Amino acid sequence: ALIVARALRPARSGLFSPDMVVNNDSVQVRFMVLRNQIQNGMGFLYNMEFTMQGMTINGQTVDMPLIRSKYALWRNSNNIITLRHSVKDASSPFNDGYPGGRQKVRDIFVTLSAMDMDGNSVLMSAIYLDPLLMDPVVEKKLRPFSRILHNHKFVDMYRIARHPESNQMASADPKFVCNLDNFIKMAPLKDGEPGFIMSSPDNPDSDNK
C-alpha cells in the first residue's frame, strides 16, 4: 500500500525561489519547471496562471497584480520565469499613491495553477515573510523561512557563450549559458544604485507606512 501511495503521489512540477526581492521597480520572485523532458513532453506545464497577494501587519489582504501572470506553455528548466509586480503603479500597496498610503506588507503569497501533459491539475504555492516587520522572537523561532528582502536584486543567470581561448562570442547555438546555481542568488543594492529605495524597511531612518 505504501508503494502504491507513493506512485500515485504527484512529483513536484516546479520550484519558486526561496526568497523574494523588492526594489524601486518591482516585487520579484523566480520560478523554474522541474523534471522536463523535451523528447516526450514529461514535465511540461500548460495553461499556467500565477497569482500574488499580500497581507499587511493589520491583517488586510491586498492584491498584487503581476505584469504577466499567464503562460500558455512552459517546458524548459533553463528558461526561468521572473514574476514581477510593479511598485510604480499607484494600485500597488508598495506605492505612496495606494489608498491610505504605502502599506507595511508583512506576508506575500504566490500561487500557481496549471495542467500537466496528462491533463492533471498542478497547484503550487509559496509564502514569503518580511523579517523586519515580524516580532523578533517569532522571527527567530520561524527560521529558516522564505524572506522578503528589500533593496535586493536577483543575480543574473545568463551570460553570453564565448570561446575559452579567444573569448569570441559563439556564432552558433548555444549562444547563451544558463547558470542554474544563480537561481537562488541575490545581491544587495547600494545607496544610490538603480533600484535602491530610500524609504524601504531596511533603512533604519524609514518612516514608511
pLDDT in tens, 102-156: 999 999 999 999 998 888 899 999 999 999 999 999 999 999 999 999 999 999 9
Q: How far apart are CA 208 and CA 188, in angstroms?
A: 20
Average pLDDT value for residue range 63-71: 96
pLDDT at 101 over 60: yes
What stretches of the chain show up as alpha helix (H) in DSSP? 2-8, 136-142
Q: Are 157 and 31 in contact (CB under 8 A)?
A: no
Q: What integer pLDDT is reported at residue 77 of this predicted model?
A: 66
pLDDT at 157 over 70: yes
pTM (predicted TM-score) = 0.82
Higher model confidence: residue 181 or residue 173? 181
Q: How far apart are CA 49 and CA 17, in angstroms?
A: 17
Q: What pLDDT, in 10s, does the model give residues 4-14? A: 544 455 566 88
pLDDT class for 1, splitting at 50, 70, 90? Answer: very low
Query: Position 75: which residue type?
Result: R
Cα distances (Å, whole numbers) of residue 164 to 57, 86, 94, 160, 174: 52, 39, 44, 12, 14
List Cβ neighbours of 8 (8 Å cut-off, separation of 6 or more): none
Q: What integer pLDDT is reported at residue 74 of this predicted model?
A: 86
Higher model confidence: residue 117 or residue 63? 63
Indicate if the alpha-carbon torsion angle 15, 19, 20, 23 is positive or negative: negative
